[in-house]
Amino acid sequence: MTPMRSRITTGWTPLALVYLGLAVVGLVGTAFFNVWSVVAARNYLGDLFGSGPAVSSIGVDLLVVAIAGCILIVVEARRLGMRRAWLYIVLSGVTAFAFTFPLFLAMRQRRIAADASPE
């Protein structure tokens, strides 16, 4: 196996693959509803925070979770020596946190597995 091939395949533990699967579901699921919102010419933030108390509760809930997740991304990336962690946070504004956070967790799991391997 070439060194590049080994580096690419190293660390894909079952847990990392679960996180990667969740990232794909998060990307596809949120993209579908975001496109639907644009096509229907809806006020995205108005709908999120102004469609009743239950929807506002979910909106605030997800916002707080996203902020905590961003803090976790920065702290864990620094702890593990992962570079460019800020990209996950920036990409969450372009795609969805439901995509970037599980993607970060998958890459984090790969890093932990690679650091634990006896190579």
What tokens were used for 70? 């961003």
pLDDT for residue 108: 97
Amino acid letter, 29: G
Closest CA to 15 of 83, 102, 119: 102
pLDDT tens series, the chain, 119 aa? 445 545 556 678 999 999 999 999 999 998 998 888 888 888 877 887 778 787 878 888 999 999 999 999 999 999 999 999 999 999 999 999 999 999 999 999 999 998 888 76
Rounded to an integer, what distance in angstroms lies between the CA atom of residue 112 and that of residue 96? 24
pTM for this entry? 0.83
Contacts of 25 (CB under 8 A, 6+ apart): 98
In order of 35, 68, 70, 94, 114, the CA distances from 28 in angstroms are 11, 23, 21, 13, 29
Rounded to an integer, what distance in angstroms lies between the CA atom of residue 53 and that of residue 70? 25
In order of 7, 74, 118, the CA distances from 95 in angstroms are 27, 19, 36
